[in-house]
Structure 1
């Protein structure tokens, strides 16, 4: 039976709660403004869970297409079984509205008590001092069940601030037909995630630029906004750059970083990218790839199924022969909004989810954080073993930066000018190092962790 068919309105709606408690409110002379909860002792607690609108598949439940459906069902089940009255309000926001949905709602009745999202977005909020460490509710059984790499991504200064739920691994996909038409059969490796040297990448892109029909292009490139810029950051490792130094600061002015920037800039004149890529968004390139007008584009294990057997997989060019890839983890945070009762309930919600085999199972569609879920459903998850084995090639694209969003607001502007030819590779490297490192330092200076 699908999750959609089992959902029931067990979480009280705002309207039904207000109507059902009117008499009680009058008798107790309690304010009901916003229906934010009756009291901190014995009354109904109003919990706010926020989640960005995100596509999501589950191998055993075809009714699921969005992750917010799963989070809503978790909330319903929690409210129905919790030991005392609780009203859970799930608020869905758009992917480009993280800051307005989270920081913009602080100190209001819409402030999140629990947030589900992608780590590279939600890790920023740890440094507001409102996200609480969760080590005391991470039982030995929970800790043993989650893959170690995800725990490492979830911690700051040895404390766990995020609870990993799933991950998506990002590699590049290449259109098999376009490669064959360009005489590139020798580079095709079906059934595996392959890797090419930078010299081979150059040969491949030149061959595609020469052979593709008008209106088709060899490879993705975009710098119209910060959306998708993490993939461009990964490409800057192509000549051997580590991207970050040992302190987590940009180090693109090193020869390897400049060489990677030059490789990209040279690609503009060699016809590797769609024209005026500096003004394109990642979604523009996605559309071109889906329409068969782009030969190479980013995919992850969750999006792989939409392309069937029309593509092959390759790692980003990287510092060694195996190339590199990235992992985007997603999970939960709990916020302290000054209400001890709500904080307790929010932490209990996390314990409820991670103590439930049923709700952990709903991560089975991507790379589940739970080892037990991976064991139960790994065979049913598309290319699960392929991506799991490629995990050794994952690189960190954040550098534990305390304010990734501020850095990203700067980064794409440098790539924009590089693609336009307004900056040399050396100038772009200096710009990115100076401006992005200043944002990193500002984030470090302003960071405060929950006491």
Structure 2
């Protein structure tokens, strides 16, 4: 035991000596100070700093009535979006201004011309792509994930891009088509004249004419169908209507020239002119706008309206002045072949006003509106549209939305992506008006439109 204790004591002494030698050794021969003797705290490899506060920024958001109203108040839902957005981004002040489809386009043109464009807007490709071609917008590619890029069809991206740059963030979509007052046909006992028993609801021009005649003969207080040619709004309805009645296209496959000036489409336009006289189409259509015709439909005074979609169906709920059930139908075609439907596509764009902070803030707003786990789905439903993303379906428990999903198979490339489209559309309604007023034949009107539009396409291509 004594020997063991002796060796233990010796071991302790050696350990102490080694500790002292280690503690005293330093580069200058001086002992290192202990923590208590040091007057400065020891530095760490990663100094702790408070995260930099986000700088406050204000952006302006101009919005057409893209969402259904809350309590009948235009803009109230948008204010709810902003309130929820500010809970996550209190540093970004969003100034909302609601604009109308009638006066909004001109107001935007004036704002752009005077360098006072909004920072962000919810709109459609017809205007957005034109602004992109004029380099008025900020590209959005850096905010689009590979998941989102792969989840949206090439056809919709084609409407959102100029070259390899994305200028519109696609959010909601739906095929443009017709709508019919189903209740009228039930009351006159002619529901069998509508193609509702066919899963795809396709039908012919002749079947359509029979349905119009049945309304005229059995519901004299209801106008069978509508048409309009007063302003640019809703032009997609008239061009798709004529193109399908004449089994044609508005522009050719590569959007390099007008294709609707065929004999068949001209005959369809001549039929519309005569149908006004026969009281199968609303009279005075040359002086009616798309909104006027849809208002007649919502009042129960029109059996068919030619510019409708699942989006408009939802947004028109508070505007209905009569109780009736409306259902969606594709445009009839001359030979019953599958129709060609233009897609409605809604999305957001950012004007490049030369302020990087505002552009970054606007991207955060777009991302919140489109992709927030709670508000993304809520916002989509409030538009009344289908998702631009292929993986998001079944948003509504409604037969008409199920049909709208099915009708996406008929969507074709819209002419809105054509070079010079902003100018092309200005020639369309004046030529329709000349035909409707009897000044020229349908063929003369469409040929005159083609000559002007083709010149605009060529000029735009030369400048690009």
Which TM-score bucket, shorter chain as reference?
Answer: 0.7 to 0.9
- Pairing partner for 1:47 from 39, 59, 62: 59
**In the TM superposition, what is the alpha-carbon distance from 1:153 to its structure 2 partner?**
2.4
Aligned to 2:119: 113
User: Unpaired segments of 5 or more residues in structure 2?
Assistant: 1-52
Query: Are the equivalent residues in 2 in contact too, given 1:198–1:239 (CA < 8 A)?
Result: no
Query: Are the equivalent residues in 2 in contact too, given 1:219–1:272 (CA < 8 A)?
Result: yes
**In the TM superposition, what is the alpha-carbon distance from 1:107 to its structure 2 partner?**
7.5
Q: How far apart are the structure 2 equivalents of 1:74 and 1:208?
A: 44
Q: How far apart are the structure 1 equivalents of 2:454 and 2:178?
A: 28
Q: Secondary structure at the match of 1:383?
A: helix
Query: Are the equivalent residues in 2 in contact too, given 1:194–1:315 (CA < 8 A)?
Result: yes
Write the mapping of 1:317-396 to structure 2, written as runs, cut at 5 A. 317-318=332-333, 320-361=336-377, 362-364=379-381, 365-371=384-390, 373-374=392-393, 378-380=395-397, 383-396=400-413
Query: Are the equivalent residues in 1 in contact too, given 2:128–2:167 (CA < 8 A)?
Result: no
**In the TM superposition, what is the alpha-carbon distance from 1:415 to its structure 2 partner?**
0.9
Write the mapping of 1:50-449 to structure 2, written as runs, cut at 5 A. 50-56=62-68, 63=70, 68-82=75-89, 85-106=91-112, 110-179=116-185, 184-190=190-196, 194-213=201-220, 215-237=221-243, 238-248=245-255, 249-298=257-306, 299-304=308-313, 306=317, 310-318=325-333, 320-361=336-377, 362-364=379-381, 365-371=384-390, 373-374=392-393, 378-380=395-397, 383-446=400-463
Query: Are the equivalent residues in 2 in contact too, given 1:223–1:281 (CA < 8 A)?
Result: yes
Q: Secondary structure at the match of 1:96?
A: coil
**In the TM superposition, what is the alpha-carbon distance from 1:421 to its structure 2 partner?**
0.9
**In the TM superposition, what is the alpha-carbon distance from 1:314 to its structure 2 partner?**
2.0
Q: Secondary structure at the match of 1:112?
A: coil
In the superposition, relative to structure 1, how do residues 265 and 387 fare at CA in structure 2: closer, same or farther (>3 Å)? same
Q: How far apart are the structure 2 equivalents of 1:233 and 1:257?
A: 10
Between the two proteins, the alignment pairs up a number of residues equal to 398
**In the TM superposition, what is the alpha-carbon distance from 1:182 to its structure 2 partner?**
5.8
**TM-score w.r.t. structure 2 length?**
0.76
Q: How far apart are the structure 2 equivalents of 1:80 and 1:180?
A: 50
Q: Secondary structure at the match of 2:348?
A: strand
Moved more, 428-437 or 381-390: 381-390
**In the TM superposition, what is the alpha-carbon distance from 1:273 to its structure 2 partner?**
1.2
Query: Are the equivalent residues in 2 in contact too, given 1:52–1:68 (CA < 8 A)?
Result: no
What per-residue deviation string (whole Å, max 9, x for no partner) do you get for residues 175-201 of structure 1? 334435666343234475522212222
What per-residue deviation string (whole Å, max 9, x for no partner) do you get for residues 302-359 of structure 1? 3436477633432112375333433211111122112233223333433444442223
Q: How far apart are the structure 2 equivalents of 1:233 and 1:321?
A: 17
What per-residue deviation string (whole Å, max 9, x for no partner) do you get for residues 81-133 of structure 1? 34x84332222222223444334223867422211112323332112202122
Q: How far apart are the structure 2 equivalents of 1:177 and 1:385?
A: 20
**In the TM superposition, what is the alpha-carbon distance from 1:398 to its structure 2 partner?**
2.2
Aligned to 1:37: none
In the superposition, relative to structure 1, how do residues 78 and 288 fare at CA in structure 2: closer, same or farther (>3 Å)? closer
In the superposition, relative to structure 1, how do residues 395 and 209 fare at CA in structure 2: closer, same or farther (>3 Å)? farther
Q: How far apart are the structure 2 equivalents of 1:352 and 1:205?
A: 46
Moved more, 399-408 or 196-205: 399-408
Query: Are the equivalent residues in 1 in contact too, given 2:138–2:359 (CA < 8 A)?
Result: no
Q: How far apart are the structure 2 equivalents of 1:388 and 1:106?
A: 36
In the superposition, relative to structure 1, how do residues 47 and 446 fare at CA in structure 2: closer, same or farther (>3 Å)? farther
Query: Are the equivalent residues in 2 in contact too, given 1:243–1:257 (CA < 8 A)?
Result: no
Q: Secondary structure at the match of 1:200?
A: helix
Moved more, 244-253 or 190-199: 190-199
CA RMSD of aligned residues (A): 3.1
Q: How far apart are the structure 1 equivalents of 2:454 and 2:71?
A: 41
**In the TM superposition, what is the alpha-carbon distance from 1:402 to its structure 2 partner?**
4.1
In the superposition, relative to structure 1, how do residues 108 and 418 fare at CA in structure 2: closer, same or farther (>3 Å)? closer
Asked which structure has the greater CA Rg, the reply is: 2
**TM-score w.r.t. structure 1 length?**
0.78
Moved more, 149-158 or 161-170: 149-158
